[in-house]
């Protein structure tokens, strides 16, 4: 059985080996958020394109501040969206607003609250370094510099940058199609009234939401019963998509038939069990050119294994870089013990207390407890070597 780190490495390596560029489409910026950039983007001019004031005040020549207080003559005013046409001579200054370009000859801005003005005379009581309170031309990016690399997922900041460099349309990779196939005779449609021994199909709804958030297009292809022939047909249909996510049927029970059917289809298995809790029975492999994950059927197990393994895989299939989950740190709010030798990912809540992040487990009843999962905003990570955990211990957490 692989450790969490080993299993994630296998997933990344196999996807990298088989990596093919997805199809590309051009999108307007208002439709590009969440998509993966399919081209390098370059600055079309210097940014900023001029020396830009970052304070309201007076643009001046720092060399005029030899003896203090220095008295300068105010010869004009400039605001954002305008420019002062003259050249600043020694002993002169120009009133300037935040965002405006520095006049020719000026190299610093004295903040308005630091000076005294009367009758067009401005008294400056302190020295200024060259380009103090100024962002220099080209300091953010020079003409032709790459400002966004291909493979970057486009969020709000990237969309703003694309707009700033004039990219009204941008090339993006087509989102991967992700098939979702829950299994088990006990699973019934969400709109059904289940018998007391049945459960509604929550995993398909959960996975659809997770796939969409990860940058994929979900396609639920039904509920596979615990019968080989129908399971075979539905798995084949799922393998027509870019990735197949199965939930349930991957353990060792008499009616856990997923691995049997996948083997009949010639599956190669790269991961068959991971030393994590929940999610130990995870399966990852490939049939032909298509990858699949067999996620455990318990809802929290499905959620956790998706976040740890399927989310990075969807990113890779969508043209993005494969990134491991990022763990943050928080102090433990309550002590507890655990002795199972696995890496545990436990639903928890992290909140700020006295300015510091504090994490506490939610009251969940195991890997079938969606009520507990919905109360969480993170997963508390407990490593195998951690057994007795005192209050205040710094812990890894995975934000959801």
The CATH number of the domain holding residue 81 is 2.170.190.11
> Are residues 218 and 123 part of one domain?
no
CA dihedral (313, 315, 321, 322) in degrees, to 10, reads -30
Residue 162: which domain range?
Answer: 30-44+143-172
Residue 119, φ and ψ in degrees, nearest 5: 55, 50
pLDDT value, residue 400: 87
Into how many domains does the chain fold? 4
**Residues 287, 153 share a domain:** no
Q: Report yes or no on 249 lying in a domain.
A: yes
pLDDT value of position 251? 62
The CATH number covering residue 161 comes to 3.90.105.10
Asked, for residue 131, whether it belongs to a domain, the answer is yes
Q: Indicate whether 197 and 304 sit together in one domain.
A: yes
The pLDDT tens digits of the residues spanning 43-60 come to 999 999 999 999 999 999
Altogether, the residues listed in the chain come to a count of 400
Same domain, yes or no: 366 and 273: no
On whether both 334 and 268 belong to a single domain, the answer is no
For residues 383 and 344, membership in a common domain is answered with: yes
Task: Report the pLDDT value the prediction gives residue 254, as an integer from 0 to 100.
Answer: 46
In-domain check, residue 244: yes
Q: Is residue 166 part of a domain?
A: yes
Do 159 and 41 meet the contact criterion of CB atoms below 8 Å apart?
A: no
334-360 burial, b at 16+ Cβ within 10 Å, e below that, comes to eeeeeeeebbbbbbbbbeeeeeebbbb
Residue 74 in any domain: the answer is: yes
Q: What are phi and psi of 196, to 5 degrees?
A: -65, -20
pLDDT tens-place string over residues 109-141: 999 999 999 989 999 999 999 999 999 999 999
**Integer Cα distance of 64 and 10 in angstroms:** 65
Q: Is the pLDDT of residue 157 over 60?
A: yes
72 & 36 share domain: no
Judged by average pLDDT, the poorest of 71-75, 249-253, 318-322 is 249-253
Using one digit for the tens of pLDDT, what is the confidence trace for 181-208? 999 888 888 898 989 988 888 999 999 9
Contacts of residues 282-287 at CB distance under 8 Å and 24 or more positions apart, as own/partner, are 282/7, 282/250, 282/309, 283/250, 283/258, 283/259, 284/7, 284/10, 284/11, 284/14, 284/309, 286/14, 286/18, 287/239, 287/262
289, 190: one domain: yes
Q: What is the model's pTM?
A: 0.87
Q: Which residue shows structure tokens 């590309």?
A: 24
pLDDT digits (tens, 9 = 90+) for 316-368: 999 998 888 899 999 999 998 887 789 999 999 999 999 999 999 998 788 88
Residue 242 pLDDT > 80, yes or no?
yes
């Amino acid at each position: 059985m692989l450790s969490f780190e080993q299993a994630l490495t296998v997933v990344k390596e196999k996807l990298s080996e088989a990596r093919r560029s997805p199809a590309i489409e051009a999108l307007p910026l208002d439709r590009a958020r969440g998509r993966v950039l399919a081209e390098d983007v370059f600055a079309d001019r210097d940014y900023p394109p001029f020396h830009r004031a970052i304070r309201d005040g007076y643009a001046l020549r720092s060399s005029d501040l030899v003896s203090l207080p220095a008295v300068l003559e105010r010869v004009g005013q400039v605001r954002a969206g305008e420019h002062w046409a003259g050249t600043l001579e020694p002993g002169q200054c120009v009133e300037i607003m935040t965002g405006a370009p520095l006049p020719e000859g000026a190299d610093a801005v004295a903040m308005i609250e630091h000076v005294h003005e009367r009758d067009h005379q401005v008294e400056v009581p302190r020295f200024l370094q060259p380009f103090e309170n100024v962002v220099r031309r080209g300091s953010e990016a020079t003409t032709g510099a790459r400002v966004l690399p291909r493979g970057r997922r486009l969020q709000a900041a990237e969309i703003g940058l694309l707009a700033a460099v004039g990219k009204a349309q941008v090339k993006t990779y087509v989102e991967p199609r992700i098939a979702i196939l829950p299994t088990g005779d006990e699973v019934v449609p969400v709109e059904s009234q289940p018998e007391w021994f049945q459960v509604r199909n929550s995993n398909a709804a959960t996975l659809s939401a997770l796939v969409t958030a990860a940058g994929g297009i979900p396609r639920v292809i039904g509920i596979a019963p615990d019968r080989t022939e129908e399971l075979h047909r539905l798995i084949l249909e799922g393998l027509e998509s870019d990735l197949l996510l199965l939930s349930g049927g991957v353990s060792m029970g008499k009616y856990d038939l997923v691995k049997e059917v996948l083997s009949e289809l010639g599956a190669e298995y790269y991961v068959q069990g991971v030393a994590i809790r929940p999610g130990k029975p995870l399966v990852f492999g490939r049939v032909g050119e298509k990858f699949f994950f067999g996620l455990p059927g318990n809802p929290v197990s499905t959620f956790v294994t998706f976040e740890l393994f399927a989310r990075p895989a969807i990113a890779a299939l969508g043209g993005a870089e494969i990134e491991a989950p990022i763990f943050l740190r928080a102090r433990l709010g309550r002590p507890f013990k655990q002795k199972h030798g696995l890496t545990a990912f436990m639903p928890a809540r992290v909140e700020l207390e006295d300015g510091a992040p504090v994490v506490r487990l939610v009251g969940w009843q195991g890997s079938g407890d969606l009520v507990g999962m919905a109360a969480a905003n993170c997963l508390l990570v407990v490593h195998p070597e951690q057994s007795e955990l005192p209050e205040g211990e710094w812990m890894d957490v995975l934000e959801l």
